[in-house]
Structure 1
Amino acid sequence: MRGIGRINALPDELILKIFLHLDSKMSWDACSLVCKRWLMLQRLGRHTIRVGASASPHGLINLLARRFVNVRNVFIDESLSVSPPVQSGRRQRADQSPLSALRLHCLNEEDSGLDSYCLSDSSLSAIGDGFIKLEKLSLIWCSSITSAGLQAIAEKCRFLKSLDLQGCYIGDAGLAAVGECCTLLEDLNLRFCEGLTDTGMVQLTFGCGKTLKSLGIASCPKITDVSLEAVGSHCKYLEALSLDSNNIQNKGLVAIAKGCRLLKDLKLQCVNLMDEALQAVGIFCSSLELLALYSFQRFTDKSLIAIGKGCKRLKNLTLSYCYFLSEKGLESVAAGCPELMHLEVNGCHNIEACGVISIGKSCNRLSELALVCCPKIDDNALSEIGRGCKYLQALHLEDCSIIGDNAISGIARGCRNLKKLHIHQCYEVGNEGIIAVGQNCKFLTDLSLRFCDRVGDEALISIGEGCSLQHLNVSGCHLIGDAGITAIARGCPQLSYLDVSFLELGDIAMAELSEGCPLLTYIVLSDCHQITDVGLSYLARKCTLLETCHMVYCHGITEAGVATIITSCLKMKKVLVEKWKVSQRTKRRAGSIISYPCIDL
């Protein structure tokens, strides 16, 4: 570029505003390569950094803090793999990522041994010193940090609004320091923080109770109802609560319900809670919009009746393995919560068809319905959903043994805005229902029919003629062959995901896919015995955007076919194949993207 480009005549503030409209890290990185000025501005405009496990976390944190001074969001996840140090004089591997190279560059000579691979209290102190504008901090499975490090963060990062400590073994003193210093804290996640007790939680609520809006507690065995009573007393503005504990009794949740009247989201997996607790939620939490109940064995329809009477704004309800619920509870929710938009019923074996029928009659705003392991839900129930829920966009059915074609046809005719349809292991569903979907649901983009073994080519021909799919899974539908997949290839040019495992497909289908679906990025061909290297060559030639390919137990595919698809698809990130089909040359070229099944086939 000769002279000064026109865009470089703009002031820094305006260029930064332009940068803020970039929608990906790749775009930011590309801008930083234009010139030194843009590199500097890109660093000033970077507000978020994400870091995995590092060979030298302390050095990496210091380096990032020097380069990106305006960072407000820091995410550190030590569950991600660590980059091993390289020995001096040895070339960097060709498959090593730039971030790995950066981490290795930060490796200090004195860093040796396992401890140097874990974020320490001194690293937390460096975060506090380097990112003075920090608002959101996420520390996932950082097992070496203690209360001392958390206290350092709390004292230095007074503007902190969100803190995620999942899997960190911090103690009460650290949590108390957060409550004392971070008086703007709104979001706190304490999943798997096994070192905490009620003492730390109570002290936290004294300090930031007025600002806390979201709280998550799971697998913290020393936290009891005492903590929840403190939350109920001091956190009047709490809007979201997630609890997973065997130690919580009715007393704690009742205190939450009485004290946190603005509660909107409530997720519970507490086996000792009974009707008294959920009845209190129904009485006092009139603003509740989301309720998720998992593995409840001690409450009955009385709880849902109270929810239906008191929570008129409820929009999202999940009931998972709540064994003592019947259709009466669901009927109460349908009658009292007309704004319900999402309903998931999973493993509630006593809920019969009339409960779902009542949802269809009363909740005409329903947009998403999931029924999993519901053996008593029949065609009449789904037909009522089709008649009453015109705005339904997503339907998930799994292991519902008596639902058949009449139900799917009723949904197709009534719910013409359907975009996502997943039907898994519903053995009474066949061609008739899916043909109706193809004829009526023109907006469908996501179809999954796993192990629906009565669905054949006629159904897919209808889908190919009527819908423009982006996602298709017909794994285990053994009646589907080349004709059905050919219809999809010719009618769905936007297809990006395809799972045809366990089908008797041949190379003809692969040739059609290569011609008709150039946007394909993810394909599963496992157990397709008739596909050969020729079929793979068709895919490799035209589907150049492929990133993932599973081809385990495909008898016709050899090491030559594996090599072809790996060398031709330059964007490939994962190939799953038997180890004996990978040549040494292919392994040297692309060993980092090749995965093998757990059991050699």
Structure 2
Amino acid sequence: MSFQNQSVSTLLELSLWIIAGKPSLYQHGFVKLPPRVKSKLLQILSKRGLLNDENIRSCLHKFTRELELTDCDISDSGLEEIAKACNLLQKLDLNSPKQTRDNVTNNGVISIARSCATLQVLYLRRCSNISDAAIAKVAISCRYLRFLNLGGCPMISDGSLNALAINCWVLESVNVSSTNISDVGVLTLCKGKCRVSLREFHMAKCRDITDKSVVTVARCCPKMQILIFHGCPKVTEASRSALEDMINRNVKNVKHITWTVY
């Protein structure tokens, strides 16, 4: 019996790989597939970078929990389809691996936030048209958000950190590297609801970050494990003592710290 089940599974996988080779020919039939098969097809198409605004609707189903779209050409239109079909979504990865992603804007992210209250992981690295307005909506609507990546989003500033501080009490990881945050936003976040849960903070290459931010993170976030703030031109040697104190207090948990002293 186990051999037969393995054979059927292999046949299914082979069939899906063939279909995924030319999704435009078969996408109208995707909608009739059962959720389990759609999930496998989503995984294959996303790995190949073949999901787009036209075919993603046919692959989605109400039990979809995770979407990895880093290599896929998805815009606000595709995000609206996701919002309509996947109100139980927990993870959405739109990180752009190399170039900026400019076809995702506040409108698409806000539509996700409105429909997907269970969202826990949101990755938007290099989504250049995302601003504080979208992240504020995410923070208000997705109270169980745990991981957020906004690295390389030039319109992100202290407004995003303020919204997260007020609303997201289980936040564990934040990446705001290469954004326009300042000490004000960092201080607010590290004294907000998530100060106890925050374990990872990336704020590299932020030109307005000073020693105040480093000291605040070191003193206010007892579970901090990863702290990245290299390439911040206003950070000085004064941060070293705060980092040493943090490591001494939390020597078993601290995993990675990188910084540049100017």
Could you say which TM-score interval applies, normalised by the shorter chain?
Answer: 0.7 to 0.9
Is residue 440 of structure 1 aligned with residue 115 of structure 2? yes
Deviations 1:103-131 (A, max 9, x none): xxxxxxxxxxxxxxxxxxxxxxxxxxxxx
Q: Structure 1's 450 and 354: CA in aligned 2 closer, same or farther, altered over 3 A?
A: farther
| Residue from 570, 575, 597 that aligns with 2:257 | 575
**C-alpha contact (below 8 Å) 2:64/2:88 kept by paired residues:** yes
Distance 1:501 1:472 in 2: 12
CA shift for structure 1 position 357: 5.0
2:98 corresponds to 1:420: no
> What is the TM-score of this pair, normalised by structure 2?
0.84
Q: Would the aligned equivalents of 2:146 and 2:171 in 1 still touch at CA under 8 Å?
A: yes
Provide the residue aligned with 1:330 in structure 2.
19
CA-to-aligned-CA distance 1:243-294 (integer Å, 9 cap, x gap): xxxxxxxxxxxxxxxxxx4473xxxxxxxxxxxxxxxxxxxx2254985xxx
Q: Which residue of 409, 417, 420 maps to 2:80?
A: 409
Cα offset, 1:551, TM superposition = 1.2
Residues 1:477 and 2:148 aligned together? no
Looking at structure 2, the residues matched to 378 and 476 of structure 1 have their Cα atoms a distance apart, in angstroms, of 23
* Alignment CA distance shift 1:424-1:412 (3 Å): same
Shift of 1:486: 1.6
Query: Which AA in structure 1 matches 2:95?
Result: H
* CA shift for structure 1 position 513: 1.2
Distance 1:529 1:352 in 2: 45
1:376-415 to 2 correspondences below 5 Å: 377-386=51-60, 389-401=61-73, 403-415=74-86
Are the equivalent residues in 2 in contact too, given 1:438–1:462 (CA < 8 A)? yes
CA contact (8 A) 1:360 1:385 kept: yes
Kindly provide the amino acid, as one letter, of the partner of residue 123 in structure 2.
S
Q: Deviations over 1:497-543 (max 9, x none)?
A: 11111111101111121122221111111111111111122222211
Q: State how far apart, in whole Å, the 2-side matches of 1:480 and 1:357 are.
A: 38
Cα deviation for residue 453 of structure 1 reads 1.0
Identify which of 511, 531, 547 aligns with 2:187: 511
Structure 1 residue 466: deviation in Å? 0.4
State the partner residue of 1:551: 229
What secondary structure sits across from 1:421 in the alignment?
strand
1:540 aligns with 2:218: yes
2:86 matches 1:364: no
The code of the aligned residue for 1:504 comes to N
Is residue 2:127 matched to residue 1:452? Answer: yes
Write the distance in 2 (CA, Å) between the matches of 1:505 and 1:532: 11
Unaligned 5+ segments in structure 2 are none
Cα displacement string for residues 184-227 of structure 1 (whole angstroms, at most 9, x for unaligned residues): xxxxxxxxxxxxxxxxxxxxxxxxxxxxxxxxxxxxxxxxxxxx
Q: Which runs of 5+ in 1 are unaligned?
A: 1-236, 240-260, 265-284, 292-303, 309-318, 320-328, 332-349, 582-600
**1:523 counterpart (201, 219, 238):** 201
Change (3 A) 1:536 1:378: same
C-alpha separation in 1, matches of 2:243 and 2:39: 40
SS at match of 1:501: coil
Cα offsets for 1:302-350 (capped at 9, x unmatched): xx4xx46xxxxxxxxxx6xxxxxxxxx327xxxxxxxxxxxxxxxxxx6
Name which of structure 1's ranges 430-439 and 535-544 shifts more when overlaid on structure 2.
535-544
Q: Is the 8 A contact 1:503 1:528 kept in 2?
A: yes
Give 1:353 shift: 4.2
Q: Secondary structure at the match of 1:458?
A: helix
CA RMSD of aligned residues (A): 2.5
What code does the residue aligned with 1:544 have?
Answer: P
Identity, % of aligned positions: 26
Compared with structure 1, are the counterparts of its residues 391 and 576 closer, same or farther at alpha carbon in structure 2 (3 Å cutoff)?
Answer: same
- For the 8 Å contact 1:526–1:554, the answer to whether it is kept is yes
Q: Specify the SS of the correspondent of 2:89.
A: coil
SS in 2 for 1:453: coil
Aligned AA for 2:258?
L
Please tell me whether the aligned partners of residues 109 and 134 of structure 2 are also in contact (alpha carbons under 8 angstroms): yes
Output aligned runs, 1:10-49, within 5 Å.
none
Give the match's secondary structure for 1:539. Answer: helix
Distance 2:103 2:48 in 1: 14
* Aligned-partner SS, 1:477: coil
How has the CA–CA distance of structure 1 residues 532 and 358 changed in structure 2, closer, same or farther, with 3 Å as cutoff? farther
TM-score (norm 1): 0.38
C-alpha separation in 1, matches of 2:172 and 2:94? 19
Change (3 A) 1:364 1:575: same
SS of residue paired to 1:380: coil
How many pairs were matched up?
247
> Distance between the aligned counterparts of 1:488 and 1:290, measured in 2?
43
The separation in 1 between residues aligned to 2:170 and 2:24, in whole angstroms, is: 37
The structure that has the greater radius of gyration is 1
Whole-angstrom CA distance in 2 between matches of 1:522 and 1:357: 43
State the SS of the aligned residue for 1:447. Answer: strand
Which has a greater percent of strand? 1
CA contact (8 A) 1:540 1:568 kept: yes
Looking at structure 2, the residues matched to 543 and 424 of structure 1 have their Cα atoms a distance apart, in angstroms, of: 26
CA distance in 2, matches of 1:354, 1:457: 40
Which residue identity does 2:35 align to in structure 1?
N
What is the distance in 2 between the residues matched to 1:499 and 1:413? 28
Deviation at 1:553, TM superposition (A): 0.6
Q: 1:119-162 CA deviation, whole Å, 9 max, x = no partner?
A: xxxxxxxxxxxxxxxxxxxxxxxxxxxxxxxxxxxxxxxxxxxx
Secondary structure, counterpart of 1:362 in structure 2 = coil
Q: How does 1:14-93 map to 2 (within 5 A)?
A: none
